[in-house]
Each structure stands twice: as C-alpha cells, then as structure tokens.
Structure 1
Amino acid sequence: MTGNPARLTSGRLVAALDLPADALVQQRIPKKMLADNGAPTPADRRLIQEYIEEATWVAALKPANAGVPAYEDPTRTYLELAVLAVQLRSPKQPNGASGKIQRLAELLHRAIPYPALLLLEDEDRLLLSMAHIRWAQKESDKMVLDGELTLATLLPLPDESGPANALAQQQFLEALPLHKQARTDLYALYQGWIDTLGAWEAVAVSGCFVPSVSPEHAAQRRSALQRCRELDASLSQLRSKAAKEKQMARQVAANLEIKALLAERQRVAASI
C-alpha cells in the first residue's frame, strides 16, 4: 500500500502496538514450514503456497522482554505471543476471496505454536486475526483453535471517506499499545487484544469505537455481534425469497417476518 502516508498499513499497525525493541524478530517464515505444520489436506497446502507472497515473524513477546508472566493451564501453555505479517497475493476473483482468507487465517494460527496477532495484507486490504489455541487431544504435538477465530477487516473501511470511520480507526490504534493491556499473564494480554479487536468489529454496527470495560462487557458484545451476523444472513435470505414470491399472501408473510427481524436487529445493535 503506497501513495497515502495516512493510510493504515501492517507497518503502522505494528508500530501502534508499541512493542519493546527486544521483542522484534523480523524473520522470514518459509511457506513450506507453514504448510507442513498447519495444512491437513492437499487443498490447504495449495492455499498456503498459492495465496501467500511472503510471511514474516515480526515479533515474539516473552516474559523476559514484555514483563508479562507466562500462562499455563491443563490444555495450553502460553510461553510467548507472536506477531506475524503475511503479504497476500491479490486474488484473481476478489468476490470469492473472503472464504479463502478465513481458511488461510485458521491454517496459520494452527501452524504457529503460539497465540498470534496475524496481519494479512494485499494491495487493497488489511485484516487482523486472533484466536486462542490449545494442544490437540489426540495429537499432543498439534495445535487447534480454542474457540472462535476473530478476523476483522481494517481496510477498506465501510465508508473510507467517512470521518466517523476514520476517527474510530484512530481510536482503535490508540487502544492497541502493549502498556494499555492487561499484564496479569500472556493469556490475559492476548485476550485484551482480542477484546480490542472485537470493539473495532462493533464499529460496523454502532458507528463508533468503544473499548470494552470488562471481560463480561466484551463477551456480551461478541454475542451481540454474532447475533447481528445471524440476523443479517436471515434477512438476506428472506428478502431474496420475497422478491421471487408471486403469491400476495406469502409476500405479506415474508415482509412481516422481515419487519420482525429488523426490529430484533435494532434491539441487538443498540446493546453493542
């Protein structure tokens, strides 16, 4: 991404994290290593090989350089947090790219043995992905995702010319620095970043950036955002069905259902 110094890039996002110099690694990651560690099928290996231009291990946050204790429970050990930057090849079919990026993010989180802040960038887009991981139950040397993947688009903005979205993006960046996160342990630190990314996702619904005030607030917002996505999918299906319906009675019924779902979405969105 070039031409606009104010435009958000992976470099600006890393700078906003305000990481200690000792944590910076800047080491290229071979795609073969990512494929060997994270791709369970030939199709997944092809996705990594064909869709990634370059992958870089930007930083490794450890207790020694971050001043944050490690974390361990019966299912996981967080000895460090990774920051990865992945340059993507621009898709030949942009409209079909979102599903591939989702899958690619899942594979990369599984390929790295540490929780990762994963930056995905091409000529037009910048995304940030995070997911807790744990050891697989049947394969102790394999990592699996623990809970939902949080994958958020930072660019393009919903309305890139809108000042409200630009302000929200700046507020998001100002909420990212390491010194503003929980420092109980590396799990709490990582969860804080996930919650901050969730607050950014909520901008698309609420129109403003509001940091989480507690873990309970963050969990409630995640639930509300998920419900909004479900309602949006249902509304899209109903509108398509109503447009094709020829019988008046069924059109009326579909429109009433749409109205009810819109009312529910408005109630849910108001709680975000």
Structure 2
Amino acid sequence: MSMATLGLNELLTALALPPSTQVQQRVPKKMLAENSAASLADRKLVQDRIEELTWQAVLKPTNVGVAAYVDELRSYLEVAVLVARLRTEAAPSGQVNQQGAKVSASVKRVAELVHRAVPYPTLLVLEDGPQMFASMAHIRWAQREAEKTVLDGDPIIVPVTLAAEPEVFLEAMALSKQPRSQMLALYQGWFDTLSAWQAVELTGQFKPSETPAQAAERRAALHTCKDLDARIAAARSAAAKEKQIARQVALNMEIKGLLAERQRVAQSL
C-alpha cells in the first residue's frame, strides 16, 4: 500500500474553506480549564500537553450557504474548525495503527476536553510532533443544565499523518464534497469520511461511504472490530498464563473463533 505523509497545511488546504470562514484566533487554555477540565489531572494535562489551540475557521449559514440545524436534542448553528499543537511526550503510549501513528491516552483525553469545552460541533486537528490526528464528536443539550452541551457518543480520533491514496482522501475531505442540506448533515459528512479513513487499517484502501446507511454500518463494524480486538487480546493473555492443557486448548479455540469473526466483520467494511 503506497503511503504519503500529510502535513497540517495540506489538510487545511484540502478542506477548501471559503476565506470568509477564516478566524485564526488563539484560544486561551484557561477556557478549557474552566469549561471542561474539572479535575486537577485534566488541568495539568491541558497545561502540560497543549502548546497552542487555534480557532482556525467557523462555518455558518451566512458564509457557507448551509442552513442551521435545530431539534429537541441539539442545535447546530455553526461548525468550528480548531487546531491543537501539542507538546510531545517523552514516551507516548497507545495502540499502533497501520497508518503508523500512536493514539496515546493523553491525545485522546485532550481531544475529548476540547470537544467538551467548545459548544459547537468541531473538526479538531491535533499536531503531536510528527504525528497528526483528526477528531470529531457530536454534541447535544445537557438534560439537567440549561444552555450546556455534552458529548453525544465517544469522539472519533483518527491518525492522518500517513495516508494511503492521499489524493483521494484529501479530495473527500473538501467542503464541497460534504452534504449541504443543513449543518448536521455537513458535519456528519466529515465524520463519515474520517470513519472511512479509519477503516483503511482493516481494508487496505480508502473508500468513502456511498450512503448514510452504509456509513452507519461501517461505524458499527469498526466498533465491533475494536471490541473483538480487546477480547482477542484478553484471551491471548489468559492463554499465555494458563497452566492446564485443557483450558489452554479451550482458550485457543476461543481465539480462533474470535479471529474468524473479526475477519468476517472486517470484510463488511
């Protein structure tokens, strides 16, 4: 699989956002501490890991010609594009993706804190040394706190430093390629594109979803594969420690079944 390195400017340029959307305003880290970093550990993470947080652009009905979306659960009046430049860790930990980047626990937590702090659906790009990630998360109104938003599901965070078929991936990220009926659909379009890129780890090729239903099925399959990976790792760990031959055989049979199920699910991507 041919791989090419993508940079921040290349990714931002590929979004092809109108000049009228550009903000390029620095966001004080104090905002994160006040709005989402409730614990001492989170406040320390914000202080130690974030070098700079920039509000790169804002998409509104008036500057992109896409209608706002409002229902009883959420209000998507605009979509934000933010860039977080991070200070690198001495020894980052996390899972290694086929794309060649580690999604460390601290990168995941920083992304979550940013999404929690910003009251708009956000496309967040994180630079962590030579690695780059894109993260998105849906938000909704909090049930018990007026005018407060909470995450609606887990954020998606995808390594994008290395891209297979980079031209195809970058073209798919362009604003003009996203649904334009309303802001929720536009944001979901970017979300689905990142899900399609996430699937490259299993399929070996980048292929955007053709319909919302296909995108939903892909997200479900990716979630299932992640769950199966955890179960396989746990079973392998148990098998390595097991002393009884009969139990080892049973665990190996379980692993074999889980691997077959993972292969079946991956083929649906």
Match of 2:136 in 1: 130
Amino acid at match of 1:269: A
Q: Counterparts in 2 of 1:96-135, with a 5 A limit? A: 98-135=104-141
Match of 2:191 in 1: 194
Match of 1:146 in 2: 152
Match of 2:77 in 1: 79
Distance 2:13 2:194 in 1: 16
Match of 1:63 in 2: 61
What TM-score does the superposition give when structure 1 sets the normalisation length?
0.91
Match of 1:35 in 2: 33
What TM-score does the superposition give when structure 2 sets the normalisation length?
0.92
**Which of the numbers 196, 208, 229 marks the counterpart of 1:232?**
229
Q: Does 1:178 align with 2:175?
A: yes
Please state whether the residue corresponding to 2:90 is helix, strand or coil. coil
| TM-superposition CA deviations, 1:103-128 (whole Å, max 9, x none) | 21111011111110000112121010
Higher relative contact order (CA 8 A, sep 6+): 2
Q: Counterparts in 2 of 1:243-258, with a 5 A limit? A: 243-258=240-255
- Sequence identity of aligned pairs in percent? 57
Residues 59 and 80, structure 2, Cα contact 8 Å, conserved in 1: yes
Amino acid at match of 1:225: L
Instruction: State the Cα distance separating 1:244 from its structure 2 match.
Output: 2.0
| TM-superposition CA deviations, 1:147-187 (whole Å, max 9, x none) | 231111112x4xxxxxxx532x3321110111111000011
Please state whether the residue corresponding to 1:189 is helix, strand or coil. helix
Q: Does 1:95 align with 2:101?
A: no
Match of 2:259 in 1: 262
Change in Cα spacing, 1:132 to 1:141, as seen in structure 2 (3 Å) is same
For the aligned residues, what is the CA RMSD? Answer: 1.4
Match of 2:100 in 1: none
Distance 2:38 2:142 in 1: 13
**Which of the numbers 210, 232, 239 marks the counterpart of 1:213?**
210
Distance 1:236 1:202 in 2: 20
Number of residue pairs the alignment of both structures matches: 258
Amino acid at match of 1:205: L
Amino acid at match of 2:16: D
Amino acid at match of 2:190: W
Runs of 4+ in 1 over 6 A off after TM superposition: none
Unaligned runs of 5+ in 1: 1-5, 158-164
Please state whether the residue corresponding to 1:175 is helix, strand or coil. helix
| TM-superposition CA deviations, 1:188-216 (whole Å, max 9, x none) | 00001000000000000111111111111
Distance 1:57 1:211 in 2: 27
Distance 1:133 1:149 in 2: 10
Match of 1:26 in 2: 24
Instruction: State the Cα distance separating 1:247 from its structure 2 match.
Output: 1.9
